[in-house]
């Protein structure tokens, strides 16, 4: 007899010897037939499997198998708390990607948004989910110029040179298919860039400035020359500079065909704070929003 995981179950067992109950904590319980022969006690085995999600968005499941005899609890045979036992988000991602796949027709997806909005992090999840390749536009520019970082390109050649190279990179990508592209935060400021992105699906990751500043203060500004080289409190500096950039750019971000707003996701899920929204949840919302415009 085999007891598969279920929300809750109670099984009237054969006659089993409780202390020889084999431990199978991960996926199933197996009662060995040979215990039937001992005929010592007739017991009931009950298994309870309860998926939970705590305030910090961690998924876990409590799992308790207990044994009772004549309606009174005898012992807990197995009690576990299993983190990430099943990946609910992965399943939703898979289902959503299957829904939109026939309508994507290989078109590239361009993620646009401010520095730190998660274009790279979410882009990688999306590309794996929809079986596309991932491309970081900044990396293409670095390879093309032969300089290892955007920060050094800014330092050696200046921002205008970088912008020209960024446009060239987007032009090259415009003839490609099946790519999720993480664009640089400033790629939206040139109309020409929008022309290159127009064959694909552009998605704006709209993240509140406070959250962006927090993320950037946490990782530092070394790789982001437009935010670097300022002494003082990292969060305050990042917030101020991001606010100035956003004022100039927000209209341009609105050109994107789809918008993924972290504030909207938080409202849907009943979260008070957008910082609890995982990259996978954002990828799910991105697929949802892409689905809405296909």
The residues of the shown chain that bind ligand ADP, judged by CB under 6 A, are: 113, 115-121, 182, 215, 219, 277-279, 282
Residue of 96, 165, 224, 257 that binds ligand S3P (CB under 6 A) = 224
Residue 252, token pair as written in the block:
């341009």
Report the sign of the C-alpha dihedral through residues 226, 232, 233, 236, in that order. negative
CB of 54 to ligand ADP, least distance (A): 16
Stretch of 34-42, 61-69, 218-226, 276-284 contacting ligand S3P, by CB under 6 A: 218-226
Residue of 185, 221, 260, 289 that binds ligand S3P (CB under 6 A) = 185
CB of 202 to ligand S3P, least distance (A): 14
With binding defined as CB under 6 A, does residue 186 bind ligand S3P? Answer: yes
Residue of 208, 225, 279, 291 that binds ligand S3P (CB under 6 A) = 225
Residue of 226, 262, 266, 284 that binds ligand S3P (CB under 6 A) = 226
CB of 54 to ligand S3P, least distance (A): 31
Nearer to ligand ADP, 97 or 182 (CB): 182
Residue of 138, 142, 211, 285 that binds ligand S3P (CB under 6 A) = 138
**Contact partner, 278, from ligand ADP, ligand S3P, none, Cβ < 5-8 Å per class:** ligand ADP
**Contact partner, 51, from ligand S3P, ligand ADP, none, Cβ < 5-8 Å per class:** none
**Contact partner, 156, from ligand ADP, ligand S3P, none, Cβ < 5-8 Å per class:** none
Alpha-carbon distance values, 230 to 146, 219, 267 (Å): 27, 15, 35
With binding defined as CB under 6 A, does residue 150 bind ligand S3P? Answer: yes
93 within 8 A of 125, measured Cβ to Cβ: yes
Stretch of 14-22, 194-202, 223-231, 258-266 contacting ligand S3P, by CB under 6 A: 223-231
CB of 113 to ligand S3P, least distance (A): 7
- Residues in touch with ligand S3P (CB under 6 A): 115, 119, 138, 150, 184-186, 224-226
């Amino acid at each position: 007899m085999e007891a598969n995981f279920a929300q809750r179950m109670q099984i009237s067992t054969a006659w089993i010897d409780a202390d020889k109950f084999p431990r199978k904590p991960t996926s199933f319980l197996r009662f060995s037939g040979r215990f039937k022969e001992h005929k010592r006690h007739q017991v009931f085995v009950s298994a309870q499997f309860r998926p939970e999600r705590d305030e910090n968005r961690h998924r876990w499941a409590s799992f308790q198998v207990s044994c009772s005899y004549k309606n009174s609890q005898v012992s807990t045979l197995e009690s576990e708390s299993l983190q990430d036992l099943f990946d609910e988000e992965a399943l939703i991602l898979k289902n959503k990607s299957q829904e939109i796949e026939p309508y994507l027709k290989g078109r590239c997806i361009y993620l646009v948004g401010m520095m730190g909005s998660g274009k790279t992090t979410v882009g990688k999840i999306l590309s794996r989910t929809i079986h596309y390749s991932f491309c970081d536009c900044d990396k293409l520019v670095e390879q093309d110029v032969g300089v290892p970082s955007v920060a050094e390109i800014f330092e050696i050649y200046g921002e205008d040179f970088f912008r020209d190279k960024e446009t060239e990179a987007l032009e090259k990508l415009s003839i490609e298919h099946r790519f999720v592209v993480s664009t640089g935060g400033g790629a939206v400021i040139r109309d020409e860039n929008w022309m290159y992105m127009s064959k694909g699906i552009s998605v704006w990751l709209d993240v509140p400035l406070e959250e962006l500043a927090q993320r950037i203060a946490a990782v530092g500004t070394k790789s982001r020359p437009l935010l670097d080289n300022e002494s003082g409190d990292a969060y305050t500096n990042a917030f101020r500079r991001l606010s100035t950039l956003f004022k100039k750019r927000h209209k341009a971000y609105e050109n994107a065909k789809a918008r993924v707003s972290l504030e909207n996701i938080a409202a849907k899920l009943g979260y008070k704070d957008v910082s609890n929204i995982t990259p996978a949840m954002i990828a799910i919302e991105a697929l949802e929003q892409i689905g809405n415009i296909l």
